[in-house]
Structure 1
Amino acid sequence: MRYVAANTLFFALALTQASHAADGSFLLNSCNEMLQATTVAEVGKLNAPDTLASGFCFGSMTTLQQLARLQWSGQDEPALGLCVPPAVRTTQYARIVVKYLQAHPERLHDESSFLALTALREAYPYSSSCIR
C-alpha cells in the first residue's frame, strides 16, 4: 500500500512540475537565463548555457522560428500568421518574447507557447505586403 501511495505522490508531483514548466513565468525566466549567458563563439555559432531552463527557451524559440516559415500549399498567408523576416535570429525571438512577458506580467500564468506566439504576432503581424 505504501508503494502505491508513494508512486501516486511521485506522479502527482511530476505532473505539477510539468504543467508549471509550461507557463509564462518559466518561459520568462528560461529566456532571461539563456540571453544573459549566451555568447557568440564564431560567426553563426552560439554558446548557450547547458541547463534545462535555457534549453527550454532555445528549443521553444527554434521551433517557433521554423514554424514561422510554414505555409500551407496554395495559401499566401503563413500558417502561424506571422511575417518574420528570415534574418531574425533565435536570440531575437527570445528578446521579443521576454519584452512582451515583462510588459504583461498579468499573463505569466498563461501557457508559454501561446504567449510566445502572441508576442511574435504583435511584433511581426502578417499583412499582404509581407515579404518572405
Structure 2
Amino acid sequence: MIMRYIAATTILFALTQVSHATDGSFLLNSCNELLNETSQGVADQLTAPNTLASGFCYGSMTTLQQLSNLQWPGNNEPMLGLCVPSAVRTSQYARIVIKYLQAHPEKLHEDGSYLAWQALQEVYPYSSSCRR
C-alpha cells in the first residue's frame, strides 16, 4: 500500500515540477498555438510550429497520454484515476484541456499540469466499469 502512495506522489511531483513555472494561461496559449497548426481532416496530424510554446503543449499532452495508461500492479486501476480510451489522440487531449481552461478562466493562474489533469478527470473519470 505504501508503494502506491510513493508511486503516485512521484508521478504527481514529476508532473508539477515539469510545469512548475507554467500556469494555465501559458498552457492555454501553447495548446492554442499547437492546434492552430493541426491539419484539418487528418486524425491527429500535428504539424507543430518550431516554438517553445507549441512544443510544451505537445510534450505535456503526450506525457499525460502516456501516464494515463499507467496502472497499479495487481488490480489494473489507473494511477492517475482517469479512464481515457486508448483511441484518444494527442490533439484530442489538447482540445479537452483548451475547452476546460476556456470554461474556467478563474483558474488560469493555477499550475498547468494540475489543470490538465482536472480537465481529463472531468471528461474521463475512473469508475469500476472503465474500459479502454
Same fold per superposition (TM over 0.5): yes
Check the 8 A contact 1:68/1:79 in 2, yes or no. Answer: yes
User: Using the alignment, how far apart are the partners of 1:83 and 1:19 within structure 2?
Assistant: 23
SS class of match (1:47) = coil
Q: In 2 relative to 1, CA 24–76 (structure 1 residues): closer, same or farther, beyond 3 Å?
A: same
Q: Which residue of 1 aligns with 2:71?
A: 71
- Percent of aligned positions that are identical: 71
User: Using the alignment, how far apart are the partners of 1:24 and 1:57 within structure 2?
Assistant: 11
Q: Which residue of 1 aligns with 2:23?
A: 23
Q: Which residue of 1 aligns with 2:56?
A: 56
Q: In 2 relative to 1, CA 49–131 (structure 1 residues): closer, same or farther, beyond 3 Å?
A: same
Output the amino acid matched with 1:118: Q
Q: In 2 relative to 1, CA 98–43 (structure 1 residues): closer, same or farther, beyond 3 Å?
A: closer
Runs (5+) with no aligned partner, structure 1? 1-17
User: Using the alignment, how far apart are the partners of 2:44 and 2:21 within structure 1?
Assistant: 29
Question: What do you get for the CA RMSD once the two structures are aligned?
Answer: 2.2
Q: How many residues align?
A: 115
Q: In 2 relative to 1, CA 131–102 (structure 1 residues): closer, same or farther, beyond 3 Å?
A: same
Runs (5+) with no aligned partner, structure 2? 1-17
CA deviations over 1:34-92 (Å, ceiling 9, x no partner): 0011227x777532111100000000000000000000211232000000000000000
Matched, 1:82 2:85: no
TM-score (norm 1): 0.80
Q: Comparing both structures, which one devotes a greater share of its residues to strand?
A: 1
Structure of higher CA gyration radius: 1
TM-score (norm 2): 0.80
